Structure 1
Amino acid sequence: MLYKRPDSSVWWVRFTTPDGKRVRRSTGTENKSAAEEYEAKLKQDLWRVSRLGERPTRTWQEAIVRWARETEHKASHADDLCHLRWLDQHLSGATLDQIDVDRIDALIDARKSGGASNATINRMLALVRAILRRAERRWRWIDRAPSIALLPEPRQRIRWLTREEADRLLAELPEHLEAMARFSLATGLREANVTGLEWAQVDLARRVAWIHPDQAKTRRAIGVPLNNDAVLVLRQWQGRHPRRVFVYRRRDPAGDDTKWMPISKAGKGAWHKALKRAGIENFRWHDLRHTWASWHVQSGTPLHVLQELGGWQSIAMVQRYAHLAPEHLAEHASRIESGIRPVDTILARSRHR
C-alpha cells in the first residue's frame, strides 16, 4: 500500500514479500502515479529475488549510504562527502549496473567544464572506483565493477619559503595566524592538528606535544618534540582559552565585550590577503609543512628521522625533499673528477689554436 508520513509529502510504500519479509521504503516522489509504478516494479523485483534467486538491483544512493557508514573512521571522510554531494547531481537515481565507462567519461567532462584540475577529478574517480569495487568484491551487489583509469597529473615542484620570505609573511599576518604559522614552521603539523590543538595535548615542562590517533591522517599517534620557537609561541598563548591553544578575539554582537573563540580554519581570507601584501604567490597553508620539511633536509636532518617527526607512513613521502640536500653525494661525485683533463689545460690549448 501507498501512504504519506505526517511530516512528508513524499509517498511511501509498505507491503510484505512472498517470503514474509516486511518492506517499508520511500518512493522518492510526490507524484502518486510515479509512486504506484515504483511500488509495482519493487514488488516484481523482490518476487524475482525471492522465487528465482536473482540478485536485487542496487542503486547508487544505497551504495553511498553504506559506504559512508563503513568508512566514517577515515581521515578523508569529510573530503569523500564533498565529492559525494557533487556526484549526487549526476548519479542520483542510477543503479550500480548503469554506472559504466560512458557514465564515468560524462562525469569527467562535467568536472572539466567546471574548471576542476586533473588532481581534483582523480580524487573523485578514486572514490567512485573504491565504492564500485567494494560493491563487487565485498557486498556482492554487482558482477563486475567498470575499469576506471585516472587522468595524468603533472609533477609539481615542492613549494616552500626561504627564511626571508617566511619573515615577510609572518609580519603581515594577524596575531592569531602569525602564532599558528610560527608553530607550524616549528613543528610541521598539519592545519587541522594546529587549529584543533588542546592544552591537554601539551606538556611544556617536557617540551612535547602529541596528536591522538583519531586526529592523525595516518590514524597513528604522533609525538611532537617542541623546539624553542614552538615553546615560545605556546607560552604566549597560555591563559587565553581553558581548552584550545590557538584562538582569536571576537567581539560579542550583543555588547562591547570580546571573547576568545576557537579557530576552525586557518587558510581563509586574512591568510590570502597577507600573502598578497607579502608578495608571495602560489602558496597554501599546507605548504608551511613543506617549508618545515625542506628546512630540516637542508639543515642535515636524515630522511628517516624526518619521516618520524612528520608522522609519514612511508619513506616515499619523505623522498620528495631529498633533492634539497645533495651534499651527502659530494664524495661520490668527486670520484671521477680526475679521470679527464683539467679545465684549465683545455682552455690553455684552445687559446693557442
Structure 2
Amino acid sequence: MSDIDRSVVAAIHHKKLATGVANATVNRTLALLRAILLRAVHDWEWLDSTPKVRLLREPIRRIRYLTHAQAIRLLSELPEHLSDMATFSLATGLRKSNVTGLEWSQVDIRHNQAWIHADQAKAKKAIAVPLNLDAVRVLTKRIGLHQRYVFSYKGRRIEKVSTAAWYKALKRAGISDFRWHDLRHTWASWHVQNGTPLYVVQELGGWESYEMVRRYAHLSAAHLKIFADNLSPLIKPSALIATSSAGLENSLSIS
C-alpha cells in the first residue's frame, strides 16, 4: 500500500476512463480506493500519509419520474407479477431490494403497515412503511402464492425485475430512459407535488440525509407561496381593470 502514490491513482483514473465508462463509474472505484487509504492511515496506522484522490465531476441528472397517466399505461403493459411489484413500489417508495426481499413476516395488513429491518435498509436504520390502499390491494392479491416471500412467480421468489418483459413493456407504453429505481423517484415526486413536506418524505423513504430529499424540493412551491405574496404589488387593481376593459373594447371593435 505504501507504493500507491499520485501516479498510481492517476493511472487507475485514466485506465477506467479509457474503457468508456461514465465518470460516476470511475468515481465508485476511486472512492473505494480513497476509503481504504484513509483507513490505512487513521484506523490501522499502516501508513503515515495518503495521496489525495480527487473524484471526477459528475453531470447533474434530471429527476426522472412518470405522470399518473404514464404509470397507469406502464402497469397495464407489464405482466401481472411485475405489475404488482411496480404498483407496490409506486405506493410505498421502497427500493428494489426491499420489494423483492419483502417477506410476509414483515407485513401487517390488518393494521396497514409493513417494515424494513435495519440490516435490509441502505441507511442501516429500520423503516416503518405505512400501506395505502393500492399497497394493501396488491398484498391481498398475493396472499397464498408463496409461503415466505410476498412477490413470487411460478412458486419462486422474484429477484430480478429489469427483465426483457420490463423493457418490452416500457417500449409498448412509449416510455424511454426509465429504470426500475425511477419508480422510487416517481413516488417521491408525486408526494412532493401533492404537498407532502420534505421531512415526511425523508422519513417515509428511509433517507439518512435531508439533502437527498431536497432534490425534489423544486417540484412544489406551495410552501413558498405565502412568502411570495409578502412583496407589495406594483400594479394597482384599478389599473388591471382599466387594461382589461380597454382590451375588451378593442377586441369588440375589431370583430
Query: How high is the TM-score relative to the length of structure 1?
Result: 0.66
Alignment of 1:144-159 (within 5 A): 144-159=49-64
Structure 1 counterpart of 2:167, one-letter code:
H
Which residue does 1:282 correspond to in 2? 177
- In structure 2, how many angstroms separate the alpha carbons of the residues matched to 1:268 and 1:142? 46
- In structure 1, how many angstroms separate the alpha carbons of the residues matched to 2:32 and 2:73? 39
Given candidates 49, 57, 68, the residue that maps to 1:163 is 68
Alignment of 1:1-353 (within 5 A): 96-249=1-154, 260-336=155-231, 338-339=233-234
Which secondary structure state, in structure 1, belongs to the residue aligned with residue 229 of structure 2?
Answer: helix
1:340 Cα deviation from its structure 2 partner:
5.0
- In structure 2, how many angstroms separate the alpha carbons of the residues matched to 1:328 and 1:345? 33
Structure 1 counterpart of 2:174, one-letter code:
G
1:151 Cα deviation from its structure 2 partner:
0.5
- In structure 2, how many angstroms separate the alpha carbons of the residues matched to 1:158 and 1:137? 37
- In structure 2, how many angstroms separate the alpha carbons of the residues matched to 1:225 and 1:100? 50
Structure 2 counterpart of 1:237, one-letter code:
R
Which secondary structure state, in structure 1, belongs to the residue aligned with residue 129 of structure 2?
Answer: strand
Aligned residue-pair number = 244
1:290 Cα deviation from its structure 2 partner:
0.5
- In structure 2, how many angstroms separate the alpha carbons of the residues matched to 1:304 and 1:213? 20
- In structure 2, how many angstroms separate the alpha carbons of the residues matched to 1:217 and 1:287? 16
Residue segments in structure 1 that go unaligned for 5+ positions in a row = 1-95, 250-259
- In structure 1, how many angstroms separate the alpha carbons of the residues matched to 2:77 and 2:20? 31
Query: How high is the TM-score relative to the length of structure 2?
Result: 0.90
Structure 2 counterpart of 1:326, one-letter code:
A
- In structure 2, how many angstroms separate the alpha carbons of the residues matched to 1:230 and 1:122? 37
- In structure 2, how many angstroms separate the alpha carbons of the residues matched to 1:151 and 1:222? 33
Higher relative contact order (CA 8 A, sep 6+): 2
Structure number with greater Rg is 1
- In structure 2, how many angstroms separate the alpha carbons of the residues matched to 1:326 and 1:265? 37
- In structure 2, how many angstroms separate the alpha carbons of the residues matched to 1:337 and 1:162? 36
- In structure 2, how many angstroms separate the alpha carbons of the residues matched to 1:165 and 1:190? 20
Structure 1 counterpart of 2:161, one-letter code:
A
1:344 Cα deviation from its structure 2 partner:
8.2
- In structure 2, how many angstroms separate the alpha carbons of the residues matched to 1:241 and 1:309? 27
1:124 Cα deviation from its structure 2 partner:
1.2
1:328 Cα deviation from its structure 2 partner:
2.3
Which residue does 2:253 correspond to in 1? none
- In structure 2, how many angstroms separate the alpha carbons of the residues matched to 1:165 and 1:337? 41
Structure 1 counterpart of 2:223, one-letter code:
H
- In structure 2, how many angstroms separate the alpha carbons of the residues matched to 1:134 and 1:345? 72
- Regions of 4+ moved over 2 Å: 334-337, 339-348
- In structure 2, how many angstroms separate the alpha carbons of the residues matched to 1:345 and 1:331? 27
Deviations 1:259-289 (A, max 9, x none): x101112123221221122111111111100
Structure 2 counterpart of 1:317, one-letter code:
M
Which secondary structure state, in structure 1, belongs to the residue aligned with residue 230 of structure 2?
Answer: helix
Change beyond 3 A, Cα 1:109–1:268: farther
Structure 2 counterpart of 1:318, one-letter code:
V
Structure 2 counterpart of 1:277, one-letter code:
R
Higher strand share: 1
Which residue does 1:76 correspond to in 2? none
Residue segments in structure 2 that go unaligned for 5+ positions in a row = 251-255
Measured on the aligned residues, the alpha-carbon RMSD in Å equals 1.9
